[in-house]
Amino acid sequence: MKLSVVILNYNAAAFLELCIYSVLRATKNIDSEIIVADNNSTDGSLEMLASVYGDRIKVIVHEENYGFSKGNNVAVAQTQGNYLCILNPDTLVGEKVFEECLAFAQAEPKSGFIGVQLIDGTGKYLPESKRHVPTPKVARNKIMGNDRGYYFKEIGHNERGKVDVLVGAFMFCNKRVYDDCGGFDERYFMYGEDIDLSYTALQKGYQNYYIGDQKVIHFKGESTIKDKIYRKRFFGAMGLFYDKYFKQSLLEKKAIALLIDIMIVVKSTQRTPKKRSEDEMTLVIEEENFRLKDVTNHFNLESFREHDTSNSIIIWDVKTISFEDIVDFMSKNLKIKYHFLSPKRDFYIGSDDSTTRGEIKYVQ
């Protein structure tokens, strides 16, 4: 088997449903398997998987929430593909993404992990797509709000090239690389494990790559409520990374620990979604006779490109519009509110920005 796609899910049923649909489209011409590992969800995820996808995917049920690292490691141990992609449930992949990653990996035998350009639900580039190794100095600056040296800016968003650190929402590799690196360090429950694994690959002589011309939508944070527990895990992971890879004096360790504690208490990562005044909704669909309730306009893709979208909420019909076309339009038309209609057309999802949870609206 050529490829195994592993999706770790926790209470993201609606987003997971569309994610799998996009993966099925993207693996149509690849000998592959899709494995969903569920971290003890309580939102009906397992029921959705059984009713919508049945035996087209393999489901691993965890009896408790193992977190990101262990949850993925358990699933990866059961994969059969020569290549592997770790994928978040709140992502949508284009039809050519896996083919491009496979071709790149085969052409670069010393490649470690391969990442792509992630964009949020408004089409905006996510800078965590490519990062430098967060040395103590770089990470301290990052915690204090100075991103200089943290994000990898030596190559452009749409370019290809060598980078240090990739993001766990999409990590592609030869399976032997994952095994050689020991998988995700299970001391990380959530956050930081992608930095750790990327750095481990570099330490073992592999080179990580970023393929910026391939884009993946990452709604981001859909599986996570950004409360104090989130902040503790997020900033605590940085301290674990320091302890593992960088020698520090006792004074330095105490200073970093104190700084992390302060950030856990005072830094708020939760935002109130912005209210939008638009009342015109536009459905983009390649089916003439279908109409969606409460939607003002219905266009096919060709006519839609000529339509003024400045005051519209866009709903994409993923059943008839390719993800490649959707991503291309979004990345060129930022700050518009986008939604995605499920293949069964019984709900649509979307996310206004990368710091708030997405929303789900069921069709009457």
Residue 227 has pLDDT above 60, yes or no: no
Residues 30 and 144 in one domain: yes
Same domain, 27 and 88: yes
Tally of residues, the chain: 364
Domain limit, last residue, from 206, 238, 266: 266
- 171 is written with which tokens? 């990590």
For the stretch 104-158, pLDDT in tens is 999 998 999 999 999 999 999 999 999 998 877 776 666 666 677 889 999 999 9
Give the tokens for residue 128.
């965590």
Q: Which residues pair with 283 in a beta bridge?
A: 298, 315
Residue 18 covered by a domain: yes
Residue 271 inside a domain? The answer is: no
Do 47 and 114 lie in one domain? The reply is yes
Quick check: 147 and 34 in contact, CB under 8 A? no
Q: Are residues 131 and 232 in the same domain?
A: no
**CB of 28 closer than 8 Å to CB of 110:** no
Domain that holds residue 346: 280-362
Backbone phi and psi for residue 203, each to the nearest 5 degrees, phi listed first: -65, -30
Residues 296 and 349 in one domain: yes
Q: Is residue 274 part of a domain?
A: no
Q: Note whether 81 and 209 are same-domain residues.
A: yes
Of the candidates 188, 7, 154, the residue with the CA atom closest to the CA atom of residue 89: 7
Answer yes or no: do 97 and 153 share one domain: yes
14: domain CATH number is 3.90.550.10
Residue 364 CB-density burial (10 A; 0-12 exposed, 13-18 middle, 19+ buried): exposed
Picking from 266, 295, 330, the residue at the C-terminal end of a domain is 266
The count of domains in the chain is 3
Residues 7 and 101 in one domain: yes
Kindly state whether residues 320 and 252 are assigned to the same domain: no
Q: How far is CA 139 from CA 144, 200, 239, in A?
A: 9, 17, 10
Strands (DSSP E) found in the chain: 3-9, 32-38, 58-61, 83-87, 91-93, 111-119, 160-163, 170-174, 207-218, 280-284, 297-299, 312-317, 337-341, 347-350, 359-362
Q: pLDDT tens across 179-213, in order?
A: 999 999 998 887 789 999 999 999 999 999 999 99
Residues 252 and 302 placed together within one structural domain of the fold: no
What span, in angstroms and rounded, lies between the C-alpha atoms of 100 and 104? 6
> What tokens were used for 194?
């992608």
**Is residue 237 located within the same domain as residue 292?**
no
pLDDT of residue 269: 45
Together in a domain, 58 and 13: yes
d(CA 240, CA 224): 20
Task: Write out pLDDT tens, residues 306-340.
Answer: 888 777 899 999 999 999 999 999 999 987 889 99
